[in-house]
Amino acid sequence: MAGEPVLQLQDVHAGYGEIRILKGVSFAIEPGTVTSVIGANGAGKSTLLKTIFGMVQASDGAIRLDGRDVTGLKSEERLQRGIAIVPQGRCNFPLMSVQENLELGAFIRRDGDIKADIEAMYGLFSSLDAKRKVIAGNLSGGEQQMLEIAMALMTRPRVMLLDEPSLGLSPRMLDYVFSSIRDLARGHGTAILMVEQNAVQALRISDRGIVIELGRVSHQGSGVEMLSEPDVRRAYLGLPADRNAP
Amino acid sequence: MELLLNQLINGLTAGSEYALIAAGLALIFGVLEVVNFAHGEFYMLSSYYLYLLMTRYNLPYVVAVPLVIVAMILSGVIFYYLVIRRVLSRSWQLQLIATLALSIVMVNTAIVLSGPVPKYLESPLNSQIVQIGMASISVQRLVVLAATAISFATLYAVLKYTRIGKAMRAVAQNREAAAAVGISVEKVGLATVVAGCALAGVAGALISPLYTIHPGMAALVIIKAFAAVIVGGFGNVTGAVLAAFLIGLLEALVTTVLPSEYADAFVFGGMILVLLVRPHGLFGRVARS
Amino acid sequence: MRPTARRVGVVPICLSALLAAGAAFAQAKPVKVGLSSAFSGHVGFIGADARRGIELAIEELKTANTAVAYELSIADDECTPAGGATAFRRLMDVQQVDVIIGSGCSGATLGGMPTLMDGKLSAVTYGSTNPKITEGAGVGGNPYMWRMNLNDTIIGETFAAFIAKDGVKSAHILAVNNDFGRGAAGVYQALLPKNDVKVNGADFFSQGASDLRALISKIAARSPDAILLFGEPPDCALMARQKREMNLKAKIFSRGGCYTDESLKLMGDPRLGDGLTEAAYWARTPDQPMVEAYRKRHGDYPPYNAALAYYAMMTVDQAVRKAGPSRDGITKGLAQVDWKSAIGPIKFDANHQARPDLFMVRIENGEQKVIETISNAR
């Protein structure tokens, strides 16, 4: 767990117009790790991801990528520097083929390796390989989720933000998605920050957990620590406070 | 037979006028989800540009036409930054008020600047008449048909093969996903509005010499263009263009067999019928753009 | 004959009375005249034209007659029935005018007429030709509506006979789909057969329609001797151009302003109008001083709306002299008007219809030419 953080937030405030949602969030994540953000509905989890990506502008505080301040940058510029996002809900181009979607995933790139990277994605997500020409809207929910993660990976991100990757997936598909996420972090060295309703399962594959409460970080620790923290278990995991209780 | 051929040509030329305007309307709605109630006024604006270039600066028609398109591209840029960009992520009510207000401002500015008296521009191609079979048609009208075909082929190619075209389709299909892959909605919005204005510019520069130019000239055309956009499946450019030609042909046909005052009733009755059977329009489920 | 000349003679006679009445009368608040016409939309030019005509008349009256001053207010009726009702109401209640001139459009006049009853306010139309206005005015029920210009029935009787005399055996009617066009079409559908001219059919186009090709194709297929066109100058210009494009041979007879300078200008090449004949309730005849006066002021010959509105304003002034400047006085005065104007006698009958001259105007070598002036006085 030692090493330089890839992403660092320091006292970040953000919101929509007059409504303040994040009221001073600070944490850091390291390369090759998975971090889960949990919290009640409306606590500001999605806003947190959007603020890191620049879809919502921080009104105060600093966001640093590899030690460099990106707080004032636009989304496209953050994407260029290595922050990618898979927003909540369907996030592909439903009337374009899998191939076209992956090409658009590399929209900001102008190098010659795009074709090779697309082939690499087909290697990584074999279920997409057979469906290169299929319209994205006709894929299953799990396949679409895979496609969206693959699209985000096309920018070769240093940090990937996932908003509810398990939403609407069957339990079997969910296991597959979570294990893929863990493998991605380990294999590619990508830092993954995800917001997840399935908090228990998310924490199991996470290196760290962060609890957001009323726009602030209330608890943080390793995934295992979070799973045994009584307040967190009771309030967010739907488990009894004492892990040894019946 | 002669009458039918004549009416076919009449329907197609009326259809091109509706289609060039409907395409821009559908494009702007499809990509940006903004209903541009001022779109017809851009047709009017381009006609006045043509008038200005030909009468004030005495430019010949063939020189003035490309300049009108350039002027319309610049007007599109101004329109985007002045109006559309400011309302892009606001409520539809606000967008409606903004574009409707612009429409009123443009019509009345035209009345103030040029007076309400209609103007006429002579294109040299107006008086060159050719015979196609039994039908008699001016070269200007043939140019309109050809230019419409070229405009749509260009639009199709841009949307299908260019980087900005792909980005436009991406924004149309999923704006959030487009933002996530780094497509700047602002730049796409600019390109879309400019493309829509350029299409209206083609319409104004080529069609207005056939008719007369006046501040309210878009009023009747824009209603048909809206009908085409609705029948074509709101936001579906191909659908809107096909529906526009369908409306033009239907009008010519109805006029032939019935007293002409029923033509509009048939067009709009047909529109209601289509919406009853297919609430998303004729081409509502086909790919946007 | 010339109104200005007559008025100069009147002034000295009135002078002593004026002095006796004191400056109060001379400086009494001006007579408020309201103009209801279209100032916006695609026929918005007719309101601007009428306004210039009235302003010219007021200017001339000011130099000739110090007793009564006129002040003009305008209201936009958009040439529609609803617009007419609103504009008349606005002039009556908000602007508090003493008389309305207008509307220039039949639809707006018909829409505005009923509101006159509420304010006991008279309106003089100078350009509406729909016969319904005459039928409903005076003994027809509305004592406040007056028409200075000829209506379509009077014009129609003369024009239908003229068309028959011109050798036409069959005709097709093409008219703008509004009160003017529909009214005129009805009149000629009845009158032409009485003159042994067969009417093949009647078609209507929307006001401001840009393309008449589909209609012309249909009409051409039935090859009538003549087309009767009822429309505004832009429609006439469109017709002339599309007639050339489609090589249509039928003669054109028109109402609504096809012979006018603006129509010829809109044709691009005015010779496209050659052969067109219009029965005009106003034309540029040499014995009208207002034509040159207008040209001096505006650089152009007066459009028919300007000229007719000018004569309407002069008619109002005639009424004011007869019975005073109040709403009531003007209504009483209009009934007594008996004025030999430069466009024929202005005297209202029981239906408040005046009968000035009718002008047959033909386009020859791209220029309008009055081929016949017909008196309608009974």
Single-letter amino acid, residue C241:
R
Band (pLDDT 50/70/90 cuts) for residue C25 is very low
Residues C197 and C164 sit within 8 Å (Cβ to Cβ): yes
pLDDT given at position A230: 78
CA angle B87–B92–B96, rounded 5-degree value: 80
Which residue type does C230 have?
Answer: F
Residue contact C208–B216, C-beta within 8 A: yes
Partner residue facing B10 (CB), from C209, C214, C247: C214
Which pair of structure tokens corresponds to residue A164? 């509810």
Query: Side-chain half-sphere of A146: how many Cα atoms within 13 Å?
Result: 23
The β-bridge partners of C99 are C33, C122
In angstroms, the CA C371 to CA C360 distance is: 6
Distance from CA of B91 to the nearest CA of C (A): 30
Residue-level pLDDT at C183: 85
DSSP designation for C326:
S
Question: Is pLDDT of A44 > 70?
Answer: yes
pLDDT band at residue A241 under the 50/70/90 scheme: low
The pTM of this model reads 0.78
Taking contacts as CB-CB distances below 8 angstroms, the residues of chain B near A92 are 174, 177
Chain A: residue whose CA lies nearest to B177:
A91
What local confidence, expressed as pLDDT, does residue A46 receive? 87
Cα dihedral angle (A208, A213, A214, A217), rounded to 10 degrees? Answer: -40
Distances (CA, A) of B50 to A22, B64, B190, C300, C311: 54, 6, 24, 25, 38
pLDDT of residue A45: 87
Out of B153-162, C1-10, C240-249, C363-372, least confident range = C1-10
Top-confidence residue, A106 or B131: A106
Query: What tokens appear for B206 in the block?
Result: 């080529």
Summary mean pLDDT of chain C: 88
From chain B, the residues in CB contact with A86 under 8 A are 180
**pLDDT computed for residue C21 by the predictor:** 45
Q: Do B137 and C218 touch (CB under 8 A)?
A: no
The secondary structure of C121-189 as a DSSP string is -EEEESS---HHHHHHBGGGSBTTEEE-SPPHHHHHHHHHHHHHHTT--EEEEEEESSHHHHHHHHHHH
In the predicted model, what is the mean pLDDT of residues C108-127? 95
3-state secondary structure of C301: coil
Distance CA C45, CA C27 (A): 34
Nearest residue, CB atoms, B111 vs list C40, C211, C266 = C40
* Mean pLDDT along residues A142-157: 89
pLDDT at C44: 80
Residues composing chain A: 246
Alpha-carbon span C88 to C18, nearest angstrom = 33
Q: Where would I find the beta strands (DSSP E) of chain C? A: 31-37, 70-76, 99-102, 122-125, 145-147, 170-176, 198-205, 226-230, 251-255, 277-280, 338-341, 344-347, 358-364, 367-374
| Facing residue for B260 by CB, picked from C205, C220, C233 | C205
Q: What phi and psi values does residue C210 have, to the nearest 5 degrees?
A: -100, -15
Closest CA to A62 of A77, A73, A47, A46: A73
Question: Residues of C with CB below 8 A from B247's CB?
Answer: none
> What pairs with residue C33 in β-bridges?
C72, C99
Does pLDDT of A226 surpass 90?
Answer: no
Half-sphere exposure of B116 (CA within 13 A, CB side): 18
What pLDDT is attached to residue C42?
66
Give the CA distances from residue C44 to residues B118, C76, C312, C323, in Å, rounded to whole numbers and listed in that order.
9, 9, 19, 34
The average confidence (pLDDT) of chain B is 89
Rounded to whole angstroms, the Cα distance separating A234 from A230 reads 6
C277: left (phi over 0), alpha (psi -120 to 50) or beta: beta
Write down the pLDDT at residue B288.
41
Residue of chain B nearest C269, judged by CA positions: B122
Q: Which chains touch A (3 or more CB pairs under 8 A)?
A: B
Query: Token pair of B198, please?
Result: 């350029």
For B192-227, how does the pLDDT look when each residue is reduced to its tens digit (9 = 90+)?
999 999 999 999 999 988 888 888 889 888 999 999
Name every residue whose Cβ is closer than 8 Å to that of residue B284 and which is 6 or more positions away in sequence.
B233, B234, B236, B239, B278
Confidence of residue C193 (pLDDT cuts 50, 70, 90): very high
CA distance A55 to C75: 52
| Eight-state DSSP code of residue A49 | H
User: Which long-range contacts does B89-93 make (Cβ < 8 Å, 24+ apart)?
Assistant: B92/B33, B92/B35
Distance from C-alpha of C336 to C-alpha of C338, rounded to nearest angstrom: 6
| Cβ atoms within 10 Å of C345's Cβ, excluding its own | 16
Highest mean predicted confidence (pLDDT) among A236-245, B136-145, C335-344: C335-344
- The Cβ of residue A241 has, within 10 Å, a number of other Cβ atoms equal to 13
Assess contact for B6 and B186: CB atoms under 8 A: no
Decide: C146 and C337 in contact? Cβ < 8 Å.
no
DSSP code string of C36-69: EE--SSTTTHHHHHHHHHHHHHHHHHHHH-SS--
Start-end of H helices in C195-303: 213-221, 233-245, 261-266, 289-298
Contact (CB<8Å) C245/B17: no
Say if CB C143 and CB C348 are below 8 A apart.
no
Q: What's the confidence (pLDDT) of residue A244?
A: 60
Rounded to an integer, the average pLDDT of B171-180 is: 90
> Residue C6 has what pLDDT?
40
Q: How confident is the model at residue C198 (pLDDT cuts 50, 70, 90)?
A: very high
Distance from CA of B185 to the nearest CA of A (A): 10
Give me the sheet containing C198-205, strands edge to edge: C198-205, C170-176, C226-230, C251-255, C277-280, C358-364, C367-374
Of A16-20, B249-253, C304-308, which range is least confident?
Answer: A16-20
pLDDT at C328 over 90: yes
C44–B216 CB contact, under 8 Å: yes
pLDDT at position A170 over 90:
no
Q: Which stretch of B26-35, B42-51, C64-73, C159-168 has the lowest confidence by average pLDDT?
A: C64-73
| Two structure tokens written together for B129 | 């008449």
Residue C98: phi, psi to the nearest 5? Answer: -95, -20
User: What gap in Å lies between CA A228 and CA A167, rounded to an integer?
Assistant: 25
What pLDDT was estimated at residue B289? 37
**Which residue did the predictor score with more confidence, B228 or A188?**
B228
Interface test with C, best of B5, B8, B10 (most C CBs within 10 A): B10
Neighbours, chain B (3 or more CB pairs < 8 A): A, C
By Cβ distance, the residue of C204, C217, C266 closest to B212 is C266
Q: Quick check: A91 and B182 CB within 8 A?
A: no
* Closest alpha carbon to A146 in A159, A156, A131, A158: A131
Q: With an 8 Å Cβ cutoff, are C269 and B127 in contact?
A: yes
Q: Which two tokens stand for residue A105?
A: 């995933």
What is the pLDDT averaged over residues A115-134?
A: 89
Interface of B with C (CB under 8 A): 2-3, 6-7, 10-11, 13-14, 17, 108, 111, 115-122, 126-127, 129, 136-138, 141, 210-212, 214-217, 219-221, 251-252, 255-256, 259-261, 263-264
Structure tokens at C223: 């090859």
From residue A86, alpha-carbon distances to A161, B202, C251 in Å are 6, 41, 72
Q: What are phi and psi of A22, to 5 degrees?
A: -95, 130
Cα–Cα distance measured from residue B185 to residue C103, given in angstroms and rounded to the nearest whole number: 51
Interval C140-177: pLDDT, tens: 999 999 999 998 888 999 999 999 999 999 999 999 98
Half-sphere exposure of A67 (CA within 13 A, CB side): 2
Query: SS3 for B121?
Result: coil
CB A194 within 8 A of CB A45: no
The answer to whether residues B201 and A94 touch, using CB atoms and an 8 Å cutoff, is no
For B63-74, what is each residue's pLDDT tens digit?
A: 999 999 999 999
**Residue C317 to residue C60: CA distance in whole angstroms:** 11
- For residue C20, how many C-alpha atoms fall within 13 Å in the half-sphere facing its CB? 5
DSSP B216: T
Do B and A make contact via 3 or more CB pairs under 8 A? The reply is yes
Q: Strand, helix or coil at A29?
A: strand
The pLDDT assigned to B262 comes to: 81
pLDDT digits (tens, 9 = 90+) for A200-219: 888 888 999 998 888 888 88
Instruction: Give contacts of B238 with chain A, Cβ < 8 Å.
Output: none
Cβ atoms < 10 Å from Cβ of A131: 19
pLDDT at C94: 94
Cα angle C189-C195-C200, degrees, rounded to a multiple of 5: 40
Looking at chain C from residue 45 to 74, which residues have their Cβ under 8 Å from any Cβ of chain B? 45, 48
Q: Using omega within 30 degrees of 0 as the cis cutoff, is the peptide bond preceding C103 cis?
A: yes
Tell me whether residues B111 and C44 touch, CB distance under 8 A.
Answer: yes
